[in-house]
Amino acid sequence: MRPRRGDLSFKASAPLATLATGTAPPTGPTVTDLAKEFIERYLRRERKRPDPAEQTIETNILKHWRHRPAKAITRRDGVLLLDKIVDRGKPVMANRVAALLAQMFSFAVERGTLEATPFSSLPWPGGSEKARKRKLDDRERYCSSGESSAPAD
């Protein structure tokens, strides 16, 4: 018989995942908790410009995994996330996200938050990156050279 609403014999604190599978879901810090600690204790201290990395974490990682327990994230989850980014036509961003995932989860292992990282030796999902080749026009050369007189138009 199914318990009725208000029936105190039903354990309301039992998570649905436990009832369905018989195993307790992973507990501990969420990906948001992990990201906050990584940003505060690593990015802002070690990088000259942490803002782009923070924005990348927010828009590409936390957007999808904000409330998930960090221990529940698998390598397959990471591959699927990176594939979504590549499918949007952003292969270089996928490489940046892969690097940040590897750094963030390795940081968590070093701090004792996680036992292992699922992102060790993760391949670059966007492939190899090629530097853009272009020539500077006269105005751009002037700005980068530090000369005191501007070229005539």
What pLDDT, in 10s, does the model give residues 23-44? 556 678 999 999 999 999 999 9
Q: DSSP H helical segments within the chain, as ranges?
A: 16-21, 31-38, 44-46, 51-56, 63-65, 75-87, 91-111, 138-145
Spatial separation of the C-alpha atoms in residues 153 and 130, rounded to whole Å: 33
122 within 8 A of 83, measured Cβ to Cβ: no
> From the DSSP assignment, how many helices (H) and strands (E) are in the chain?
8, 0
Q: Would you kindly state where each structural domain of the chain is located, as residue ranges?
A: 27-111
Condensed to tens digits (0 to 9), the pLDDT of residues 40-71 reads 999 999 999 999 999 999 999 999 999 999 99
Tell me, what DSSP letter sits at residue 68?
Answer: S
Burial of 72 (0-12, 13-18, 19+ CB in 10 A): middle
> Which residues are CB-neighbours of 142 under 8 A, at least 6 positions away?
150, 151
* Average pLDDT score over residue span 119-135: 82
Instruction: Name the CATH topology of 27-111.
Output: DNA polymerase; domain 1 (1.10.150)
- Residues in the chain, total: 153
Amino acid identity of residue 103, one-letter, is Q
Residue 129's pLDDT band, with cuts at 50, 70 and 90, is: confident
pTM score, whole prediction = 0.70
